[in-house]
Chain A
Amino acid sequence: MAALLLLIAAGAGALLWPKGSEAPAPRLRDTGLAALLEREAEGFSRADQAWRFRFPADHAAHSDYRTELWLVAGTLSDREGRRFGFQLRFLRLGVNPPATPMGPSAWAAHDVYQAQFALTDVAGGDLHSGERVSRAAMGMSGSEASPVRVWLEDWSLEARGGGDLRLRAGTKDVGLTLTLRNSKPPVLRSADGFHAYAMTRLRAEGTIRIGGRSIQAGGLAWLDRAWGEIPMPVGPVAWDRFLLQLDDGRELAVLRLRRRDGSGEPVLAGLLVDDDGTVHTLAHDDLTAEVLGYWPSPRDGTRYPARWRLRLPARAITLQLTPHVADQEADLSLRYWSGVVEIMGMQDGRALQGNGYVELLGYEPAPARR
């Protein structure tokens, strides 16, 4: 049986975590996304063979596959060193296979898009976030091949000349416009029901709108892409995911699978990308992940792991992860924690540092105490 390589795509599932009865998810219910996911995959392509990746073409949607993810996350700072984190996520759900004839309605659509945007203001200790859902009709959302682009209203990710990407997103209070320039070969994976790639080190430059001002900022971002049968944490297994960018030019991705019912032992997998783009696959035994502290959500008491120690014993690497802001809980149609963290670490007596993006799925409110 092929080893599972879930590192890249897993985040999409965050959108559809079923909530407990105490925490209804009205917008999610209204959009019916959960119901869409349960539909049969018949008529869609299966990612059961190797894929020949091409860029920038693969940045656009692959509508003959049922689900598709775009995630850009990163950390920025302005000239004064004021730090921000951001994430923009598009999820495409195929409602009807491309071959399905559509009715005459202008609202008829093959796809539904859902998007989430968040900006973390580290100095202000704030998280600004927003969420949108739209069917791919009447130009409200969609993806096109020329120029390569995915959008939902005025949130967009599009290819520019020279392999760059342009990101735009915002809410009433904040906005972000970034140019992203890839600096490493993409990590490519075709396995386990989906095709995926990651650009683990994008140099980001652009403008942040916050507090009525526009700020020039730059930093690093990470692009995750996947299409096919993207895992969703609606079954017995949920996961924590770490996308870490070290200042020495390396990146580390770690996935920690855990059973929702608490049985069994969590399982780890990872990738370490060297400065020159060499990718090392890390197996369960190559990694350890330790929770150093917890953060209770003020909204419903959900107890999230908040600080972590990751170790790669064979490489003598130890990394400690601390959230830049404790409260980066996405309080959208789905509640989960996803945000930016600071990395402090050591390798063979040498200090390591960097920033990362972490998402924690499938944590639920503690049962009410009597």
Chain B
Amino acid sequence: MSRRRLGAESAVLTLVVALVACSPDSERPEPPAAAPRTALGVVHPDPQRPGTPEAGYDALVNKAYVTCGIPYEAYRKTAPAVSPARRLPGRKGRNAELPYSLTSHVTPGGVELVVPNCLTCHAAYFNGDLIVGLGNEAADFTENPAIVAEGLGVHVRGEAQSAEWRKWADRMAAISPYVVTDTVGVNPAVNLTWALFAHRDPKTLAWSSKPVIEPPPKRPLPVSVPPWWRMQKKHAMFYTAAGRGDHARLMILASALCTDSVQEARAIDAYAPDIRAFLASLEPPKYPFDIDRKLAARGRPVFEKHCSACHGTYGAQAQYPNLVIGLDAVGTDPALAAAATYGSEDRFLHWVQGSFYGEISSLAPAPGYYAPPLDGVWATAPYLHNGSVPTLESLLDSKTRPRYWLRSFDSSDYDRRRLGWNYTEPGHGKHSIADPVQRKRVYDTTLPGYSNQGHTFGDALSEEERRAVLEYLKTL
């Protein structure tokens, strides 16, 4: 079988060589088109398709945009009890009984599946309350998903359900080499997306069990999941401002694990503008603890003097500059932006260009990082694009940033003075931690991509100024 395939490939190769050899001398092969990029500086807005927020919420929590998953019967056998705190209002039918992060989907063949939804990564608890749109910074991607999928297979019965399970488990096996992180809490979404592109024909979106373009490096670069409410202000998506054009079309890449045809993608895309409209309608939560209003008022001018040039102003006449800052200027871990713009990911950007997703959108990264709006920033620890700084206080005072730190992942274990997660410092990195559970929970800023360097703009603040700015940030 494999020999036959190899034969076919070499036949195709021979044909290509022959064609090139026969082409007239005047026709030189075209150099590959430059991959799209966004320039540093101001990001200008692109037109967005209109949508209805209410319809968007309904679609978000009730529609199955990911269409492969675990047969419901197998899920039901193994699922832990769902506490009321894990349910969401507005969910219909079976969805009402599922945890917020899972959605029911009945396949055309009549098999009911339980599939992940956007809220797996884009909803999280703060102080015990589930907040839709808050990035989930406690998710554990350190387990190999292929192993988990094979394990669930022991609970699957019947031909039709087995076929659905196999489809899902095969996808999990295909992506598994690229999505296992070494730290609990960080997200491998970028590498996941590249891995899925590598297995799909951009024109037809058909799945290929073998990669059709070179897959990404195996080790995912860690990212922190940003809150959705930033979409109100940001003109481009993602840390490097790579998400340009129509945002809704890019959002449905979240379905790429199982969207196997343009027709399926189009069906999801039809309601995606509603979901985008819902995201853009989200307001950040209100700081749930006491605020020293006088101190906060003193912090505002300090903030506006030192921070607003990049992060904007808040309150009446709020302004947000939509700036992407170059790596030299911001100084934060360069790995993510470098990977995106030094050429090593260009094949994935080209993939988008040639696909349904690229019709009205593009992935065009900038060689720097977007300075985000800071609405609700107190809720979004840990900080920086890689989640390397556990508190806002440390973000504003780089010498206090812990090199190795460990948190409880309890959403109530919040430090109201430093604005971020309480943490301990194990005093050494992952390599010298024997216990595998502990090792995964320690954030080690000495690892590639995990550095807590840069963004030293708060270092010049006096202690009093810093306290005032932190108090002010509680009001955003």
Contact = CB atoms under 8 A, between A and B. Distances in A.
Contacts of A2: 80
A264 B143 contact: no
B153 A265 contact: no
A234 interface: yes
A257 B80 contact: no
A229 B76 CA distance: 10
Interface in B137-160: 143-144, 146-148, 150-158
Interface string B80-96: 11000000000000000
B151 A267 contact: yes
B78 interface: yes
Nearest to A267: B150
B173 interface: yes
B157 A193 contact: no
Contacts of B157: 38, 234-235
B291 interface: no
Contacts of A48: 79-81
Contacts of B166: 236, 259, 261, 263
Nearest to B75: A193
A265 B173 contact: yes
Interface in A230-273: 231-237, 239, 257, 259, 261, 263-265, 267, 269
Contacts of B79: 48, 193
Nearest to B163: A236
B411 interface: no
B162 interface: yes
Nearest to A280: B436
A192 interface: yes
Nearest to B165: A236
Interface residues of A, number: 34
B170 interface: yes
Main secondary structure on chain A at its contact with chain B? loop
B452 to A, nearest CB: 28
B77 interface: yes
B384 interface: no
A232 B156 CA distance: 9
B187 to A, nearest CB: 15
A236 B78 contact: no
Nearest to B82: A48
A192 B153 contact: no
A106 interface: no
B80 A235 contact: no
Contacts of A269: 147, 151
B169 interface: yes
B84 to A, nearest CB: 15
A67 to B, nearest CB: 10
Given A2-B80, A48-B81, A193-B155, A235 B162 contact: yes
Nearest to A37: B157
Contact of A229 (B148, B155, B170): B155
Given A1-B143, A48-B79, A264-B170, A237 B148 contact: no
Nearest to A258: B150
Contacts of A229: 77-78, 155
B81 A231 contact: no
A223 to B, nearest CB: 21
A48 B81 CA distance: 5
A257 B154 contact: yes
A234 B78 CA distance: 16
B77 to A, nearest CB: 4
Interface in A279-295: 283-285
A103 to B, nearest CB: 29
Nearest to A5: B151
A6 B150 contact: no
A49 interface: yes
A81 to B, nearest CB: 39
Contacts of B156: 235-237
Contacts of A41: 77
Nearest to A231: B154
Which of A6, A261, A267 counts the most B-chain CB atoms under 10 A from its CB?
A: A267
A284 B147 contact: yes
Contacts of A192: 78, 151, 155
A138 interface: no
B158 A4 contact: no
Contact of B169 (A49, A233, A264, A285): A264
Given A263-B166, A267-B146, A235 B154 contact: yes
Contacts of A99: none
Given A3-B148, A264-B170, A257 B81 contact: no
Contacts of A6: 151, 154
A279 to B, nearest CB: 13
Contact of A283 (B77, B81, B147): B147
Interface in B333-384: none
Nearest to A285: B144
Nearest to A190: B80
Contacts of B81: 46, 48-49
Which of A1, A263, A269, A285 counts the most B-chain CB atoms under 10 A from its CB?
A: A1
B80 A4 contact: no
Given A257-B150, A267-B146, 16 more contacts: A1-B143, A3-B148, A38-B157, A48-B79, A192-B155, A193-B155, A229-B78, A235-B156, A235-B161, A236-B165, A237-B150, A237-B156, A239-B154, A259-B166, A267-B147, A285-B144
The 10 closest A-B pairs by CB, nearest first: A4-B151, A237-B153, A231-B154, A229-B77, A193-B78, A236-B162, A235-B156, A48-B81, A267-B150, A193-B77
26 contacts: A3-B143, A3-B147, A49-B80, A49-B81, A193-B155, A229-B155, A231-B154, A231-B155, A234-B157, A235-B157, A235-B165, A236-B156, A237-B150, A237-B154, A237-B156, A257-B151, A257-B154, A261-B166, A263-B170, A264-B169, A264-B170, A267-B146, A283-B144, A283-B436, A284-B144, A285-B144
